[in-house]
Amino acid sequence: MKLPISQKVVGNRLIQTISLAELLRLVGRSGVWVFIPLYLLAVKDASYIEIGILFLLSAVASIPISIFGGNLIDKIGRRKIALTVPPVLALLFLLIFLGIHFSLSTLFITVPFVLFAPGAVLQSIVDSVIVTDSTDEMDRIDAFSMTRIGANVGFSLGPAIAGFAVTYNYSILPLIPLILEIFGFFLYFKYINYNEGPHQEGKKLLSFPRKDKRFIIVSLLVSIAWFSVGPWAYILPQFFSRVDLIQYSVIGILFAANGLSVVILQLPVNRLFYKFNDMTKITIGLIIYAATFAFFGIIRNEILLLINVIFLTIGENAMSPASNSIIGKIAPPEKRGEYYGGFSLLNNFMSPFSPLFYEAMLAYLFRDPVLLWLIIGIICLILAVSIMATKKLWITQESTSSPIADPPGGRTG
């Protein structure tokens, strides 16, 4: 009997550990990401532009971590970095808790919120390197899909839990990720212990694969793709709250539906698109995002919004594993930290402009939601066309390594 995912991946202890850790992290972090901006809007009287600047600063703070952190992983090892990040993040969430519980200066909330992003980026890089180390090329889409399923189980629970928690007391919000980061540390301490190869003590911490033109082209295209779908992460909760006048608990349920849909649909989407190369999957994802974004401008009914969120998930499922997989295909084994760090660097050069750009759009166009979301959808379509127009620059190399002979799970069932 064929499994919908490689049996070798399912039985991989490292992949199991990272998937469980992602689940736990996202239970806490997703609530903070969705509801801290709403807390600042409702309690601290922040403006849309100020929230955009907050996200901008988060992304800017992540830029040096992207390049420095990736090379640091190659230099001193995956496990040391993986064990260092959770206690630091737990401390940041403690500061947010103190700021909210004791009504301290807004800086107790905004500064840790900004610094939380670089830590999460470093954690993402080291997890991607560990996943790539522990799988072969044919199993990598399955492996990244499995970790993403774990993350989205957490994401399906986090906003729903947080949505109800904040109706009681906002200070509960940062306590959840604080506790789960500590638990994640012990999980990594016990299970992330493998032969990762010799550390590169002489490696430069600011090294970047600037001579690899294919890497540069692919990374820029993927980074711009994620820029174009930024409204989902940044302005949609505020749009639901301030324009659609949806209650926080319902917003939490809508985001929970997204996470649950990822879990249910990720493997079927993998099978549906398995014959396509990674960049084409990203293009398909952008087209689906464009359509669902356009519908957000039209739909006011909560049931129809829920259905639209589920359709949006198909675009997410097409894009996300492919984005990670293609970098692993390009990166030499001894430079995976450098390449994933370099990709993160380029992505974070783009991402600072995403929240500010879309928050400004929301501020000026919130009275015309049809135009707002139509423009956002057109941006996604333009990028999808751009990726296919540059096909000759990346298709030759990628096509030689894309798994098209067997569907996911077909080789091990």
The contacts of residue 161 (CB under 8 Å, 6+ apart) are: 27, 31, 176, 252
pLDDT of residue 381: 93
pLDDT of residue 395: 60
- Residue-wise pLDDT for 55-69, tens only, equals 888 878 887 887 787
- Domains by residue range for the chain, with CATH: 7-193+204-399 (1.20.1250.20)
- Contact present, 40 and 106 (Cβ < 8 Å): yes
Quick one: average pLDDT of 273-281? 86
Q: Between 12 and 160, whose confidence is greater? A: 12
Residue tagged 């939601």 (tokens): 369
Residue 116 has pLDDT above 80, yes or no: yes
CA distances from 232 to 243, 259, 402 (A): 15, 13, 29
- Contact present, 18 and 150 (Cβ < 8 Å): yes
CB atoms within 10 A of CB 301: 10
Task: Report how far residue 63's alpha carbon sits from residue 181's, in angstroms, rounded to the nearest whole number.
Answer: 23
Residue 157 has pLDDT above 50, yes or no: yes
CB atoms within 10 A of CB 364: 11
Please give the angle made by the CA atoms of 259, 266 and 355, to the nearest 5 degrees: 50
Task: Report how far residue 413's alpha carbon sits from residue 410's, in angstroms, rounded to the nearest whole number.
Answer: 6
Residue 335 has pLDDT above 50, yes or no: yes
Task: Report how far residue 21's alpha carbon sits from residue 88's, in angstroms, rounded to the nearest whole number.
Answer: 16
The contacts of residue 131 (CB under 8 Å, 6+ apart) are: 14, 15, 18, 140, 143, 144, 147, 324, 328
Question: Could you give the percent of the chain with pLDDT greater than 70?
Answer: 89
- Which of 34-48, 85-99, 167-181 bottoms out in mean pLDDT, i.e. has the lowest? 34-48
CB atoms within 10 A of CB 190: 9
| E runs forming strands in 62-197 | none
- Contact present, 147 and 15 (Cβ < 8 Å): yes
- Contact present, 82 and 123 (Cβ < 8 Å): yes
- Which of 134-138, 145-149, 401-405 bottoms out in mean pLDDT, i.e. has the lowest? 401-405
- Contact present, 14 and 192 (Cβ < 8 Å): yes
- Contact present, 319 and 281 (Cβ < 8 Å): yes
Residue 202 has pLDDT above 80, yes or no: no
pLDDT of residue 352: 65
Task: Report how far residue 204's alpha carbon sits from residue 271's, in angstroms, rounded to the nearest whole number.
Answer: 41
CA-closest candidate to residue 66, choices 320, 338, 322, 336: 338
Task: Report how far residue 193's alpha carbon sits from residue 134's, in angstroms, rounded to the nearest whole number.
Answer: 12
**Which residue type, as a one-letter code, is found at position 347?**
N
Of the pLDDT bands very low, low, confident and very high (cuts 50, 70, 90), residue 98 is very high
Of the pLDDT bands very low, low, confident and very high (cuts 50, 70, 90), residue 228 is confident
Quick one: average pLDDT of 74-80? 84
- Contact present, 331 and 340 (Cβ < 8 Å): yes
Here the tokens at position 384 are 């999808």
Task: Report how far residue 230's alpha carbon sits from residue 316's, in angstroms, rounded to the nearest whole number.
Answer: 12
Residue tagged 């899909």 (tokens): 145
DSSP 8-class letter at 246: -
